[in-house]
Structure 1
């Protein structure tokens, strides 16, 4: 009697492992590596690649590239004075490009980008028509 009980005690955990392995064998395969996202970048920003910009608030900046494409830069944190600034300085990389690793100077404060993506043109204000 004890011999059969011992065999059963060893067989139950193995049966459970087989059942679990069977469930994973029929699961959907993991998708292949997805295509990497293309980084948004304004080429030659230091040579006139930026046509226009508009501050939405102290954390968001809309930038128009020379190809009429608009980009949205979200700051790492609040960039004091960005919403009211008349001038800002763009810090480009050594190749002169502005991307998500870039930053801007506002009133002597350097504000780093957290995110930099392509976006549509901003809506025109009724007072600027």
Structure 2
């Protein structure tokens, strides 16, 4: 899966969708949610911004339904990066605030600190590479 992030976007999209089909009976599993994130990322790289946003929103929703604060916080942070990269800083900040609250609930001080730093630099890069 790690090589998916550096794959050409067309290949990434195909592989992510293929993996999600294999996991159709477990849509809230960590793997299924991860492949949805890869799909959203690929769509954005292909310039399909509207579909990418819909996919990111679906990931945020499903990760909340999964009941895993770590996955939900990560989805919120990744969606924030997407929004920020498209100049939607205020919306990105709201999603980062949600991610911070979720990681604070988990008592994950490292992730909270990283997200707070990111919150202060919104608009600078539009990138959140990792949380936790």
Shorter-normalised TM range: under 0.3
Structure with the bigger percentage of strand: 1
Structure with the bigger percentage of helix: 2
The higher relative CO (CA closer than 8 Å, separation ≥ 6) is in 1
* TM-score scaled by length of structure 2: 0.20
* TM-score scaled by length of structure 1: 0.20
